[in-house]
Structure 1
Amino acid sequence: MPSDHFPAPNGMLPYWRTEPHRLDNYRSTEALPKESDIIIVGAGYAGSSVAYHILDQIKPGSKPPSITILEARQACSGATARNGGHMKPDIYNFVATLEAEYGVEAAAEVAVFEARHVHAVKDFVDKERIDCDYTVTKAIDVQLCSGHFQKLKSGYERLVSNGFEPTKPARFVNAEDAESFSGVKGAVGCVTYDASSIWAYKFVLHLLEKVVSQGVNLQTHTPVSKITKSTNESASSSHWQVETPRGTITAQKVILATNAYTSALAPQYQNKIIPVRGTCCRIAVPPASTVPRLTCTYTLRWNGWDYDYLIPRADRSIVVGGARTAFIHDLNNWYNVSDDSRVLEGAVRYFDGYMQRTFVGWEDSNAYTDRVWTGSKCMMITPCICEHTFVFNRTGMVRLTWAVMGYSSDGLPHIGAVPGQQDEYILAGFTGHGMPQIFLAAEGIAKMVVGDVAFEETGLPRLFKTSQSRLDKQENKILSSAPEGGSSLAKL
């Protein structure tokens, strides 16, 4: 498996990118600028959010810094545009592990911080009038393993007994009511709480459009190959050199919003932020179908390590992700893999007839036509009738694509100043759970970059701070989330 991870040049086209924005392949200037006050590497959720918050920190009448955003492919073409569409905080699951390891206070900071995102992003979307299908609803975590449900419930009860306020809004539904409450066949328990869903690509492109209109230089199709300290002593105001195939830019400050690809540019994160490949699809329903209407987001936990997640769409389609059983037993399919241009046939088969076999009342839904794209390749499930772009079958329309996520070895994002480096910052390692963490985390990074504010004064959870002590740890919770480990880490 490769040790240097860069975005594959021909990633598969996901459902969320089927309506490309005018900035999708945009370059603010024909040539790269020679220098910039701030360079942000990555034009996804993290990169666009930090650019927005930096400009928002500038006092009226003050000159804003020059900012250049470098993106290897199209704008928002990585994990942000390939996820399941959840904006789903964790108020009882992984935070119970954090509470046991770090204490109530530290864990509560994480839970409160994530829960804030649901309504903070809603308020921002309303203020900016962003057309991104943002919907505040309820999450339903459906448990299909009695033993795992009891384990989660015990953790919840321990949190509440310890005075863990963020967990109290979660409501548990026991076995006798779980199937009727969730609509999922065989449910043995449920947990429900506030969450939301979003068309993240549209949200991010709105942010990019806003910052570009304020002078930010956006350069798509400009992969960064290397970042080094300047050896030119006369360039005292620009001490980072950022190399790309199109030339080198010098900068005072660099922000790595690179998630899965971080270690290629910051080798100290080798084995600390690891590319992990997941899969996601879209299932559509015929207009005449009378299936029960879904309004909540879902996670279906089949056992301690196997889970799927889904959100309903306004057009009655369903976005589903997971299919871990199709690839989790082979590390080469998902662990330390940064190629999102390949598709796994087993995952395609897994989603075939998914809603019919999983949800009550969907048996005769006549969901139709599987659709899978892999760039210029066509994976044959049944005879292809779409000239090497799509694949169809008779059971349901599924558009499936891979997402490459940046998993942190300790399960927590790395945010703040890169240890041992001056004026280099990181916002990465979200372990498939960045949607309820990134937007407000970017605000904290902006405070550090613009005002030289210490991490501890930003309001960010203490456990999110990147540090040398975290880099020195030898633990790897990612591998413990595999079947042999018996626990599920990601919280999608």
Structure 2
Amino acid sequence: MASSDNGSSRNLPNTTPCLSYWQRTTRSFPHLFANQDNTVPSKAKYVVIGSGISGGLTAFELLEAGVPGEEVVILEAREAASGASSRNAGHVRPDAFRGFNAYSKVHGPEQALKIIANERLVLEKVNDFVKRHQVTCDFNLTTTFDVCMTPEFAKYEAESLEAYKQAGGDVSHIKFYDGLEAQAKTRIPGATAAYEWPAGSSHPAKLAHFLLQSVIDRGAKLFTFCPATEVKQTGSSLWDVHTPRGIITAERIIHCTNAHAALLLPQLETYNRPNRAQAHSLVPTPAFAAENALQNTFSLRYSLLHFYSLIQRKGDGTLILGVSRSNPTLSPETLDSRFSTDDSHFNEEIAQDALRSFNNLFPDYAPDGSKTLHGEGLDHAWTGIIAMTTDSVPFVGAIDSLPGQYICAGFNGHGK
């Protein structure tokens, strides 16, 4: 096993993680520490490794397809849904066109079109799922702004949109605003241009918990603080999953381990690199409270590598501010530190950069440098480990070299 600060995905999750805003507000989930001291069963037809949204949804869909709940075991290295799913910035935000050129260079235009179309499909499926199952995860279907803060990035976006259109991409749902109109629409005085399209936000931990609660109610077993440490073949079609609390012999194994996938699948280490991301929750000042609350989500971009993300929650008005992992204004030491699986703390330099930039982007948040009231402003900061793949798309499906094993991981900070 590798050290948590060396950027390798051959690591178990950190044993002393910080808590995100999402985790701090869901401490009453009854299965947070499910079976944390119990021995695992000796056999199961299906073993799902990881209890985030991917793991929970995998188990959910197995049961929906008719698999008895008693045949499904979910293993989690820490508390329930403790990884990237519960540590993100709250977005359900498809890429409408911006990534088309980059995807085309790697996968070709035809596949790039399919990737962008799939992004839109995911939003539609999340909306449908939440409605159909009445999931109380604070899902808010709205629109998002891609805000260009420099002429150079506005040019990049325009070229990306044109290339996407010329390749046959659907742009009927995308609106464009320039100059003063962009500033008025986004409330950002420095905006050069902006694009708007459908998107959403949610409370990701509540969504993950709904999935886990649903399958547990139907007989599936969740074992927390019980990492899978090794998988060995036994016989012709069975696998032994080793854990600190026993060995499970399984017919099917589904790896939903995202940035940690290479611990059990070392062949992925070169292709799946952990990155430590950081987000912040802010209590709004009057300029962003009550009727002044933001109604849209945002990606605020100076360049491809220099950007911030923003949502405002409907329920309590909390602002969730995310930061680019490659922001060129950060020190070399901070930039290097992102290659890590250590989510036990946050970086103060990143937090200060985020707050300073937020105030520059939205000067009406605290006009003329006015002091905020005690309780307003930065409430919390946290980190989470995302998985960056070499071709910018996830690993999903059967592992051909390991019959009976499957994977759903490597979401490039864009998992749903």
Tell me the TM-score normalised to structure 2 length. Answer: 0.90
**Structure 1 residues 164-179: aligned runs within 5 Å:** 164-165=169-170, 167-179=171-183
Which residue does the alignment assign to 2:157? 152
Contact 1:28 1:219 in 2 (8 A): yes
1:339 to 2:342 alignment: yes
Query: Please, which of 109, 115, 120 is the counterpart of residue 114 of structure 2?
Result: 109
Counterpart among 342, 357, 369 of residue 360 in structure 2: 357
- What SS class does the counterpart of residue 403 from structure 1 fall into? strand
1:97 is displaced (CA, Å) by: 2.2
Unaligned residue ranges in structure 1 (runs of 5+): 370-393, 436-492
Unaligned runs of 5+ in 2: 1-5
1:355 Cα shift? 3.9
Q: CA deviation at 1:287?
A: 6.2
Write the mapping of 1:21-100 to structure 2, written as runs, cut at 5 A: 21-27=29-35, 30-58=38-66, 66-100=71-105
Where do residues 304-315 of structure 1 align in structure 2 (5 Å cutoff)?
304-314=304-314, 315=316
Specify which of 4, 10, 28 is matched with residue 16 of structure 2: 10
Cα distance change of structure 1 residues 194 and 367 upon mapping to structure 2, 3 Å threshold: farther
Distance between the aligned counterparts of 1:117 and 1:254, measured in 2?
A: 24
**Which of 412, 420, 443 is the matching residue for 2:393?**
412
Give the AA of the match of 1:46: S
User: When you count strand as a share of all residues, which structure comes out higher?
Assistant: 2
Paired position in structure 2 for 1:302: 302
The answer to whether the Cα contact below 8 Å between 2:32 and 2:79 also exists between their aligned partners in 1 is yes
Partners of 1:175 and 1:187 lie apart in 2 by 7
- The CA RMSD measured in Å over matched residues stands at 2.2
Within 1, Cα distance between the matches of 2:409 and 2:256?
Answer: 6
SS in 2 for 1:341: coil
For each residue in 1:84-111, what CA deviation from the matched residue of structure 2 results, as whole angstroms up to 9, or x when unmatched? 1000011201123223543443222222
Q: Post-superposition shift, 1:410?
A: 1.2
SS state at 1:352 partner: helix
Equivalent residue for 2:415, pick from 434, 444, 452 = 434
Instruction: Name the aligned partner's letter for residue 74 of structure 1.
Output: E
CA shift, 1:261, in A, is 0.4
Any idea what the Cα deviations from partners look like across 1:447-473, whole Å, max 9, x if unmatched? xxxxxxxxxxxxxxxxxxxxxxxxxxx
- Whichever residue aligns with residue 16 of structure 1, its letter is W
Deviations 1:171-230 (A, max 9, x none): 221223221111113111111100000101001111111111111110011011111212
Given that 1:135 and 1:196 are in contact with CA atoms closer than 8 Å, whether structure 2 keeps it comes out as yes
Which structure has more relative contact order (CA 8 Å, sep 6+)? It is 2
Once the two structures are TM-superposed, the CA of residue 316 in structure 1 deviates from its matched residue by: 2.0
Equivalences for 1:463-478 in 2 at 5 Å? none
User: Is the Cα–Cα contact under 8 Å of residues 297 and 312 in structure 2 kept in the other structure?
Assistant: yes
Any conservation in 2 of the 1:368–1:397 contact (CA below 8 Å)? no
Q: 1:63 to 1:258 in 2, by over 3 A?
A: closer
What is the one-letter code of the residue matched to 1:45?
I
Is the Cα contact below 8 Å between 2:285 and 2:376 reproduced in 1?
no
Aligned position for 1:127? 132
Is residue 38–residue 245 contact of structure 2 (8 Å, CA) maintained in 1? no
For 1:318, the equivalent position in structure 2 comes to: 319
Contact map agreement 1:285 1:366 (CA 8 A) in 2: no
Matched letter for residue 188 of structure 1: T
The DSSP-based 3-state class of the residue aligned with 1:176 is helix
Aligned-pair CA distance for 1:49: 0.6
Moved more, 313-322 or 36-45: 313-322
Where do 4+ consecutive residues of structure 1 move more than 4 Å? Answer: 62-65, 286-291, 365-369
Judge conservation of contact 1:298–1:311 (CA < 8 Å) in 2. yes
3-state SS of 1:415 partner: strand
1:393-429 per-residue CA deviation (whole Å, 9 max, x = no partner) reads x872331001100111111101111241111111000
Question: Could you tell me the percent identity over the aligned residues?
Answer: 27
How far apart are residue 151 of structure 1 and its match? Answer: 1.4
Please give the alpha-carbon distance, in whole angstroms, between the structure 2 residues aligned to 1:345 and 1:356: 17
Q: How has the CA–CA distance of structure 1 residues 272 and 102 changed in structure 2, closer, same or farther, with 3 Å as cutoff?
A: closer
CA separation in 2, counterparts of 1:120 and 1:139?
17
Could you tell me how far apart the structure 2 residues matched to 1:97 and 1:395 are? 40
Confirm or deny: 8 A CA contact 1:138 1:194 kept in the other structure: yes
Please identify, of 44-53 and 64-73, the stretch whose mean Cα deviation from structure 2 is larger: 64-73
The answer to whether the 8 Å contact 1:281/1:320 transfers is: yes
SS in 1 for 2:41: coil
Deviation string, structure 1 residues 36-95 (Cα, Å, up to 9, x no partner): 11111000011001111111112xxx7567111000001111111110100001120112
Alignment partner of 1:425 out of 395, 406, 410: 406
Measure, in 2, the Cα distance between the counterparts of 1:276 and 1:2: 7
CA displacement 1:282-310 (0-9 Å, x = unmatched): 01025697683211000011123111101
Q: Which residue of the partner structure matches residue 261 of structure 2?
A: 262
- What letter matches 1:318 in structure 2? L
Given that 1:17 and 1:81 are in contact with CA atoms closer than 8 Å, whether structure 2 keeps it comes out as yes
1:221 aligned partner, one-letter code: F
The amino acid of 2:15's aligned partner reads P
Counterpart-to-counterpart distance in 1, 2:90 and 2:14? 22
Equivalent residue number for residue 443 of structure 1: none
Provide the rounded CA distance (Å) in 2 between the counterparts of 1:34 and 1:327. Answer: 49
* Contact 1:38/1:65 (<8 A) preserved: no
Tell me the distance in 1 between the aligned counterparts of 2:184 and 2:129: 35
- TM-score (norm. length: structure 1): 0.77
Whether contact under 8 Å (1:286, 1:366) holds in the other structure is no
CA 162–410 in structure 1, closer or farther in 2 if over 3 Å, else same: closer
- Name the CA distance, whole Å, in 1 between partners of 2:167 and 2:41: 54
| Alignment-derived partner of residue 203 in structure 1 | 207
The alpha carbon displacement at 1:366 in A equals: 4.9
Letter in 1 for 2:377: G
Distance 2:191 2:133 in 1: 40
